[in-house]
Amino acid sequence: MTNVIIHTNKVEGFFDRARKVAQKDDRGESFKKSATFSFEDPQEMFMVLSEARRRLMLEVMDEPKTITQLTIKLHRERSAVTKDICKKVEFGAWC
């Protein structure tokens, strides 16, 4: 499973991390499988990462699934799952 890192940070922190990753790549070093979600505004973070959306994210990070598979696995309405996926894309979590 992919490690997920979620935190608040400023744009400068994003570029610092990106620079370190690029340097690591330049040296030919391997990467840990992870996904990092950074939010400048903590309120935005809590809006995007509701409990239902966290479960959705963990489910697809374990193994890709269709919306139909997600609705069955998570016991949720299709429209709610679709709305949450669109919200993640809107905030840049899944592109």
What does the pLDDT look like over 13-30, one tens digit per residue? 889 988 998 999 999 998
Tell me how far apart the alpha carbons of residues 33 and 31 are, in angstroms, rounded to a whole number.
Answer: 6
Residue 20 lies in a domain: yes
Q: What percent of the chain has pLDDT over 70?
A: 87
Number of domains in the chain: 1
Whether the pLDDT of residue 94 is over 70: the answer is no
The residue segments making up the domain with residue 48 are: 3-90
Residue pLDDT, tens place only, 70-86: 999 999 999 999 888 88
Q: How confident is the model at residue 95 (pLDDT cuts 50, 70, 90)?
A: very low
Mean pLDDT estimate for the chain: 82
Rounded-to-integer distance, Cα 39 and Cα 29, Å: 27
33 domain-assigned: yes
pLDDT at residue 59 in the model: 84
Residue 95 maps to a domain: no
**H helical segments located in the chain:** 11-26, 42-48, 51-62, 67-74, 78-90
